[in-house]
Structure 1
């Protein structure tokens, strides 16, 4: 069965409870995406490195309980599992404070990436948090190299986190370098200008589409759009009362990839416009459900719950 392979950070999100309290929640964008896919009923796998600590044990247990294939999860004594403190603004928007100097995921080495993890038609999904100057960047390079060799599809969600980089221009250059390795890029309206440097939305998206097969453009409350070289599809989104947007983008792209795999024809993602409209509706629905609760992996909906949503 075709699977989504996420590579990158799995970490602990400390979510605010009241004015001074926090509770731990499993997170990390690649882990969130893998969880979303598996909870919906798809097959997912995660490539990451956890610390040999309580948080690493906790994350591994949670991911296994969500039916994520964890055979490519490594452990280390050289660094602790990553932590992120989340704060919320009015309307559920969030900001992150990361503790990773380094964290275990950053020590994932290229020599630890195995070809046997990849099969033709799989989707390799990654973000930019682990494209920092650390061994894990070369691990990404190795995974991408194998994915191309095995004729997998590559999905890149930049998931911009400016606080992790001192040099934002370098960050922009790194993100743009990895866009050229991708078949699909998922980008939000908040990230579009930073990545392209173009203020005109239409021109910015056109620039990206010249470099990839598909641009998935998310706009928060305003829904999302998909651009290919053949068609353009838009969806206004589903009504929601947002409490916490922490897992919104990850649940969206996880649901999107789940449906894309489900609707593929003969191992190809050349779905027609009608199918893409269905995929976009589904992904928006999943994201609208996630933002109405606090948490990430622990609150991803099942397929049955999504189908019951009006």
Structure 2
């Protein structure tokens, strides 16, 4: 996939370490970094632009990224705490216990420069999310005419949706906590606000996507999850990478591309549930 036409994507925003308190092990993660790592695993060229702290947690994330060969040449470095979350597992399901709300990223922001924007212009897609402190940057990126995808996660407010959805092409929501009517009305509202593709993941009920013409439902691939951390991020990444690659190849009609991309996303997401942390690389602390 993507061999003929090189696709380049970038994750903008958060990197964290997820500290699993029950085993005293930290794993690299964060929505924007997960996206970049999963995209690379799916065979496309990917980069991450975020902020690193000056602690051992940051060092572990950066060492892992160097090992994976991701481009982080434009990242910020600040004195202070790297983004960090505290987590435990209950029967394979990740449970968040608290976080430092992004650490140095929250304190300093990204403040994209003209140089950064020239760099970002070369990508086929930029992915950001609710925890990446990227909202002040979205207008600058939108002006570059690059498709933007945004992960609203599960604790979005309707005010945030109303502000952000008009600026992005793809909107993603985690909706396990909502009923069917609430999900439908959220999807249609977000589409009307300007997002061209809106996707809600619903845990074991699968996913529902709307493209303005029709709804597409995707059943999950069921596995005995070792760790659900990263399941949503990997679903989103595989969907986007497949969708962008196949659209660029321009050989299939849109409905077929969406169906194939959703199917690939379900398969890839299931595999992620068999890995500890978002993508492995655990280190004792």
Per the shorter chain, which TM-score range?
Answer: 0.7 to 0.9
User: Any idea what SS the aligned residue of 2:164 has?
Assistant: helix
Matched residue pairs, number?
A: 273
Separation of aligned partners in 2, 1:240 and 1:247? 14
Does 2:178 align with 1:184?
no
Separation of aligned partners in 1, 2:173 and 2:262? 14
1:213 to 196, 207, 216: 196
Flag the 1:44–1:271 CA change in 2: closer, same or farther, 3 A. farther
User: Any idea what SS the aligned residue of 1:110 has?
Assistant: coil
Matched with 2:90 is 89
Separation of aligned partners in 2, 1:151 and 1:129? 23
Does 2:16 align with 1:11?
yes
Q: Which moved more, 1:176-185 or 1:102-111?
A: 102-111
Separation of aligned partners in 2, 1:250 and 1:202? 21
1:152 to 126, 146, 149: 146
Flag the 1:208–1:174 CA change in 2: closer, same or farther, 3 A. closer
CA deviation map 1:89-115 (0-9, x unaligned): 345242241024x71222134154611
Separation of aligned partners in 2, 1:65 and 1:269? 35
Give TM-score scaled by structure 1 length: 0.79
CA deviation map 1:46-68 (0-9, x unaligned): 11110123222221121222232
Separation of aligned partners in 2, 1:174 and 1:109? 19
> Residue 158 of structure 1: CA displacement?
0.9
Q: Contact 2:161–2:190 (CA<8 Å) still a contact in 1?
A: no
2:262 to 280, 284, 292: 280
Q: Contact 1:39–1:67 (CA<8 Å) still a contact in 2?
A: no
Q: Which runs of 5+ in 2 are unaligned?
A: 1-5
Q: Which runs of 5+ in 1 are unaligned?
A: 132-136, 163-170, 300-310
Separation of aligned partners in 2, 1:49 and 1:4? 18
Matched with 1:226 is 209
CA deviation map 1:223-266 (0-9, x unaligned): 21221012322121112112221110111111111111210136
Does 2:127 align with 1:141?
no
Q: Contact 1:129–1:161 (CA<8 Å) still a contact in 2?
A: no
Separation of aligned partners in 1, 2:252 and 2:19? 40
Q: CA RMSD in A?
A: 2.5
Q: Contact 1:37–1:258 (CA<8 Å) still a contact in 2?
A: yes
Give TM-score scaled by structure 2 length: 0.86
